[in-house]
């Protein structure tokens, strides 16, 4: 397996897009720490940037890369290699590349400017979000043979989690504002990895006080160590479940 | 060596293979022929595990190939249209496959030398002509000295000189006692290569015979004529 991961990783790192992505993350992170006078504000700016760009780049780049490596996959399939191994190697290769880009671009400024629990938390959440969207890319690229359709699905997925989901949640909040839905809202956040990540960071920044009663409920749940554990577990499930569905499909695919 | 039993495969509503039974032994050189879309490539891909049949079993050396992968060490496959990563060079592709196989056996680099590919080692795959890509496919198929060679339209796109080199190589490997599958539409090219013929039609095996027997039955000495006669006879029978 290591041999194939190495080949894939080297191939991805040669790609200039990953380099550009790293640079953009670095510029964004360094400048947001430089612009704000305290690191908490800087982190808040970075949070918004990261929750927007990291998912987009991870899912789009991975989907396109998977479609472009269809020849490579075909070539490997006629060799004595397990199907699982090919798909897993691609996943590890892409994940490693995306996490590495995130770590170099955003992780280093985070650790230098905010070397505390929040900075570390941000780093872990960012890496997990990268993994989640790489896994979603695997799912969207296995759904259809058509490259344009696959990339379309990837963009729609990102749009849904980055924008639409929040809109739907807001709509529900207003519609049912007469009912005690605060506890239900905690459950709803589990349906979006981006929201899970956002709430996790916000609660650690003590700005949750501004979120009113719902914020207090969130703090009650996510603020505890069990809540922390559960939300990380949920993020991990967001990686594992999409990937395993795609792996099952790949094992049964005709090439 | 390869036993195929009651294979069925559907792509959507289209039945590509239906109830295919075949048995192939060592030292045979088999031509898989038939009209376009009769399921030749699907059959080959099923043997390789690239297409998974709906029903039936395929055994390689007595062991089933479903969900297995190690048996592919003994197969060299030359696809009909070789598709390779665009931005890798010929040298990188060959190096990569060597690394992946990690084989300790002696490599067979005859074709690499005969096709003079070493001169073009740093050419990118996307810049290659169709024929040169075919040459790369052929080199990769023969490189690891496999017991079984599966060649899907090997001479299509090759210039006369290169296809002659490839034919000589196939004959050489046949004499070593390997099992060789060839699909081709150029029946005249097969004359001095093959020992058996499998004719497929509409996803079924129409006949599987030794070449000598086929020639004796039809009284022709060219494969193309013999097959034309069989088909004509079959058509007449259907009309009556």
Exposure of B169 in the CB half-sphere (CA atoms within 13 A): 25
- Chain B contact for A16 (CB, 8 A cutoff): no
- Rounded to whole angstroms, how far apart are CA atoms B14 and A230? 48
> Tell me, what's the pLDDT at A186?
79
Q: Which residue has the tokens 């577990």?
A: A233
Q: What does DSSP say about strands B55-60 and B2-11: parallel, antiparallel, or unpaired?
A: antiparallel
For residue B98, give the chain A residue with the closest CA.
Answer: A79
Q: Which residues pair with B63 in a beta bridge?
A: B60
Coil/strand/helix, residue B123:
coil
Distance from CA of B88 to the nearest CA of A (A): 9
**Which two tokens mark B158?**
């090759």
Write out chain A residues lying below 8 Å of B70, CB-based.
80
Q: Is B150 within 8 Å of B76 (Cβ atoms)?
A: yes
Q: Give tens-digit pLDDT for B77-88.
A: 999 888 888 888
Helix runs in B19-129, H state only: 40-48, 90-101, 110-114
| Cβ contact B100–A70 (<8 Å) | no
Instruction: Provide mean pLDDT across the span A58-68.
Output: 95
Q: Which residue has the tokens 């690394």?
A: B99
Q: Which of B11, B52, B77 sits opposite A252 (nearest CB)?
A: B52
- Rounded to whole angstroms, how far apart are CA atoms B212 and A103? 68
Instruction: Provide mean pLDDT across the span B123-138.
Output: 91
Write out chain B residues lying below 8 Å of A69, CB-based.
85
Instruction: Provide mean pLDDT across the span A141-154.
Output: 94
- Rounded to whole angstroms, how far apart are CA atoms A5 and A17? 19
Coil/strand/helix, residue A107:
helix
Instruction: Provide mean pLDDT across the span A194-220.
Output: 75
Torsion, CA B230, CA B234, CA B236, CA B238, rounded to 10: 180
> Tell me, what's the pLDDT at A207?
66
Q: Give tens-digit pLDDT for B143-184.
A: 999 999 999 988 888 899 999 999 999 999 989 889 999 998
Q: A29 pLDDT exceeds 70?
A: yes
- Chain B contact for A70 (CB, 8 A cutoff): yes
> Tell me, what's the pLDDT at A208?
60
Q: Which of A71, A80, A81 sits opposite B83 (nearest CB)?
A: A71
For residue A1, give the chain B residue with the closest CA.
Answer: B100
Domains and CATH numbers, chain B: 2-239 (3.40.50.300)
Instruction: Provide mean pLDDT across the span A110-133.
Output: 90
Instruction: Provide mean pLDDT across the span A74-89.
Output: 90
Q: Residue A235, class by beta-carbon neighbours within 10 Å (0-12 exposed, 13-18 middle, 19+ buried)?
A: buried
Predicted confidence band at B194 (pLDDT cuts at 50, 70, 90)? confident
Coil/strand/helix, residue A121:
helix
Q: E strands along B74-147, which residues?
A: 75-78
> Tell me, what's the pLDDT at A106?
92
Q: Is A94 within 8 Å of A131 (Cβ atoms)?
A: no
Q: Which residues pair with B22 in a beta bridge?
A: B4
Q: Is A235 within 8 Å of A194 (Cβ atoms)?
A: no
Predicted confidence band at A212 (pLDDT cuts at 50, 70, 90)? low
- Rounded to whole angstroms, how far apart are CA atoms A220 and B18? 62
- Rounded to whole angstroms, how far apart are CA atoms A107 and A188? 29
ipTM: 0.85
Residue A249 dihedral angles phi and psi, to the nearest 5°: -65, -40
Q: A18 pLDDT exceeds 90?
A: yes
- Rounded to whole angstroms, how far apart are CA atoms B94 and B139? 9
Q: Is A233 within 8 Å of A226 (Cβ atoms)?
A: no
| Cβ contact A254–B52 (<8 Å) | yes
Q: What is the mean pLDDT of chain A?
A: 88
Instruction: Provide mean pLDDT across the span A2-26.
Output: 90
- Chain A contact for B144 (CB, 8 A cutoff): no
Least confident span in A39-48, A193-202, A204-213: A204-213
| Cβ contact B101–A69 (<8 Å) | no
| Cβ contact A78–B101 (<8 Å) | no
Q: A95 pLDDT exceeds 90?
A: yes
Residue A175 dihedral angles phi and psi, to the nearest 5°: -60, -40
- Chain B contact for A67 (CB, 8 A cutoff): no
| Cβ contact B100–A82 (<8 Å) | no
| Cβ contact A74–B86 (<8 Å) | no
Q: Which residue has the tokens 């999409």?
A: A242
Q: Which of A71, A72, A78 sits opposite B77 (nearest CB)?
A: A78
Which B residues 45-64 touch A at CB under 8 Å? Answer: 45, 48-52
Residue A252 dihedral angles phi and psi, to the nearest 5°: -105, 5
Q: Which of B158, B137, B141, B143 is nearest to B110 (CA)?
A: B143
CB pairs under 8 A between A and B: 60
> Tell me, what's the pLDDT at B184?
86
Write out chain A residues lying below 8 Å of B44, CB-based.
none
Predicted confidence band at B105 (pLDDT cuts at 50, 70, 90)? confident
Predicted confidence band at A97 (pLDDT cuts at 50, 70, 90)? very high
| Cβ contact A7–B99 (<8 Å) | yes
Q: A36 pLDDT exceeds 90?
A: no
Supply the pTM of this predicted model. 0.89
CA angle A68, B9, B16 (to 5 degrees): 85
Q: A210 pLDDT exceeds 70?
A: no
Spatial neighbors of B164 by CB under 8 A, at least 6 apart, are none
- Rounded to whole angstroms, how far apart are CA atoms B47 and B23? 12
**Which two tokens mark A135?**
């896994």
**Could you tell me the sign of the dihedral formed by the alpha carbons of B127, B130, B132, B135, in that order?**
positive
Distance from CA of B89 to the nearest CA of A (A): 13
Instruction: Provide mean pLDDT across the span A99-107.
Output: 94
Write out chain A residues lying below 8 Å of B51, CB-based.
254-255
> Tell me, what's the pLDDT at B8?
92
Predicted confidence band at A50 (pLDDT cuts at 50, 70, 90)? confident
Q: Which of B85, B93, B100 sits opposite A69 (nearest CB)?
A: B85
Which B residues 71-130 touch A at CB under 8 Å? Answer: 71-73, 75, 77, 79, 83-86, 93, 96-97, 99-102
Predicted confidence band at A37 (pLDDT cuts at 50, 70, 90)? confident
Residue B205 dihedral angles phi and psi, to the nearest 5°: -80, 115
Spatial neighbors of A188 by CB under 8 A, at least 6 apart, are A169, A172
């Amino acid at each position: 397996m290591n041999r194939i991961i190495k080949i894939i990783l080297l191939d991805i790192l040669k790609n200039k897009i990953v380099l550009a992505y790293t640079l953009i993350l670095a510029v964004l992170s360094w400048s947001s720490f430089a612009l704000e006078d305290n690191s908490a504000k800087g982190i808040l700016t970075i949070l918004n940037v990261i929750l927007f760009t990291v998912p987009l780049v991870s899912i789009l780049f991975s989907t396109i890369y998977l479609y472009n490596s269809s020849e490579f996959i075909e070539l490997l399939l006629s060799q004595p290699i397990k199907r699982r191994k090919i798909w897993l190697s691609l996943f590890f290769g892409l994940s490693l590349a995306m996490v590495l880009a995130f770590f170099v671009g955003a992780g280093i400024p985070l650790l230098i400017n905010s070397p505390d629990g929040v900075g570390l938390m941000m780093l872990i959440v960012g890496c997990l979000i990268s993994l989640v969207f790489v896994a979603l890319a695997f799912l969207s690229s296995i759904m259809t043979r058509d490259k344009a359709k696959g990339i379309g699905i990837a963009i729609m997925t990102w749009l849904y989690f980055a924008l639409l989901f929040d809109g739907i949640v807001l709509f529900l909040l207003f519609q049912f504002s007469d009912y005690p839905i605060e506890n239900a809202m905690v459950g709803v956040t589990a349906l979006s990895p981006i929201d899970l990540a956002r709430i996790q960071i916000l609660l650690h920044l003590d700005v949750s006080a501004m979120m009113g009663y719902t914020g207090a409920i969130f703090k009650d749940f996510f603020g505890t160590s069990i809540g922390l554990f559960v939300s990380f577990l949920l993020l991990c499930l967001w990686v594992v479940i999409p990937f395993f569905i795609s792996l099952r499909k790949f094992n049964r695919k005709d090439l | 060596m390869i036993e195929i039993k009651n294979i069925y495969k559907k792509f959507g509503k289209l039945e590509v293979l239906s109830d295919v039974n075949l048995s192939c032994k060592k030292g045979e050189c088999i031509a898989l022929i038939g009209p376009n879309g009769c399921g030749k490539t699907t059959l080959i891909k099923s043997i390789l595990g690239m297409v998974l049949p709906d029903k039936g079993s395929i055994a390689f050396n007595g062991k089933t190939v479903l969900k297995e992968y190690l048996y592919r060490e003994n197969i060299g496959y030359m696809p009909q249209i070789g598709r390779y990563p665009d931005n890798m060079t010929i040298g990188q592709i060959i190096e990569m496959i060597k690394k992946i196989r990690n084989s300790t056996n002696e490599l067979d680099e005859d074709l690499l030398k005969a096709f003079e590919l070493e001169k073009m080692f740093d050419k990118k795959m996307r810049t290659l002509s169709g024929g040169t890509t075919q040459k790369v496919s052929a080199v990769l198929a023969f490189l690891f000295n496999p017991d079984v060679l599966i060649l899907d339209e090997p001479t299509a796109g090759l210039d006369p000189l290169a296809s002659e080199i490839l034919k000589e190589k196939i004959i050489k490997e046949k004499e070593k006692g390997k099992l060789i599958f060839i699909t081709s539409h150029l029946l005249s090219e097969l004359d001095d290569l093959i020992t058996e013929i499998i004719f497929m039609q509409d996803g079924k095996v129409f006949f599987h015979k030794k070449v000598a027997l086929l020639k004796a039955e039809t009284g022709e000495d060219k494969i193309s004529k013999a097959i034309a006669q069989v088909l004509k006879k079959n058509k007449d029978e259907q009309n009556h």
